[in-house]
Structure 1
């Protein structure tokens, strides 16, 4: 089931009309290491499907690189200690707040009940029963990012983390970098289980 509240919250600040934008992510991480050497290095690793879409993957890697740097990992393609595999997806679905029983057709709005269940009311004709089709407006965006770190030499996975978020805004360019930060929060010893990570952004980035 959908969460009871939108995943992207607009919260009023104490300064009056100013608002802040909170991106909330559900994060789950798995770690096989307790500490990371100071100045540890990495290079990006791409799957064949990611190599085929190099421009998009490079954009995602740039987002992830900023988050990796914040937790003490430095990119060094010539002398890496780890490899980092980056993934992300954005899926558009019908908003959980949309009314699935409301029609907006050539005969206007209406509710009805007939042999096929709730459906469209044909005003004036008194006929009910066309199967209902939910409105396609009010899209909802489901996002997920992932980071997998492997130790070079042994090829052992030492860290795996994913962050999920959903909400009504199209601003993936602003949301995905923050989700990578959330995914890496607590590195290299994150809490167990699924946790909620909230990161605040300026409201202006909502429309990016």
Structure 2
């Protein structure tokens, strides 16, 4: 009976560990040379390079629109006093993991996600970890003068491939403290669901 109860408890712990929250920790650097009043209206502006992939840019702008609404800005393509440029840079990097040997060196090694037999991996691919680096940028300009009134960048490096969940958290981090964010580089943690 105790074995069955222990097994059930172990399974419950595994499932709750997988269904919880995760933290997107971003390095943020913001600049606010001019005050932006709450309720200001904006429209998105695109660089020529962003016009090459309009679908991806529209998705990014939809994420940014939600983040900007949280800080009190209103999208108004006709009556906007501000223009907003939003950008993202993403890359995936694979790195080999270390493999400390366990046992009597009889041809088996186990460690850091890899199981090796002899000179090669027993389960190929478990010895490689993929890390996803992303950076989002926001630049707000006064449309009448093209003066930058707010600029912010947030970067994050982590194991999650799902940009559609990570990027909104990074945009929220980039806007933390808006319209007068702290000066200097800071770490901002945003919790999202798994």
Question: What TM-score bracket applies, with the shorter chain setting the length?
Answer: 0.7 to 0.9
1:30 aligns with 2:31: yes
Q: In structure 1, what is the Cα distance between the partners aligned to 2:189 and 2:158?
A: 14
Q: In structure 2, what is the Cα distance between the partners aligned to 1:190 and 1:77?
A: 26
TM-score, structure 2 as length reference = 0.75
- Secondary structure of 1:90's counterpart equals strand
Q: Which runs of 5+ in 2 are unaligned?
A: 1-15, 101-108, 110-114
Partner of 1:137: 128
The counterpart of 1:158, out of the listed 128, 132, 149, is 149
Q: In structure 2, what is the Cα distance between the partners aligned to 1:89 and 1:136?
A: 27
Partner of 2:22: 21
Partner of 2:73: 73
Q: In structure 2, what is the Cα distance between the partners aligned to 1:148 and 1:157?
A: 7
After superposition, the Cα gap between the structure-2 partners of 1:198 and 1:157, relative to the gap in structure 1 and judged at 3 Å, is: same
Q: In structure 2, what is the Cα distance between the partners aligned to 1:191 and 1:53?
A: 34
Partner of 1:113: none
What whole-Å deviation, never above 9, does each CA across 1:129-172 have from its counterpart, x for those lacking one?
xxxxxx98311100100000000110001111000001111111
1:198 aligns with 2:193: no
Partner of 1:11: none
Q: How does 1:1-208 map to 2 (within 5 A)?
A: 19-34=20-35, 36-95=36-95, 98-99=97-98, 108-109=119-120, 137-203=128-194
TM-score, structure 1 as length reference = 0.70
- Secondary structure of 1:138's counterpart equals strand
Alpha carbon RMSD of aligned pairs, Å? Answer: 2.7
Deviation at 1:100, TM superposition (A): 9.2
Q: In structure 2, what is the Cα distance between the partners aligned to 1:164 and 1:38?
A: 26
Contact 1:94 1:136 in 2 (8 A): no
Q: In structure 1, what is the Cα distance between the partners aligned to 2:144 and 2:46?
A: 17
Deviation at 1:75, TM superposition (A): 0.3
Partner of 1:124: none
- Secondary structure of 1:199's counterpart equals strand
Q: What count of residue pairs does the alignment treat as equivalent? A: 162
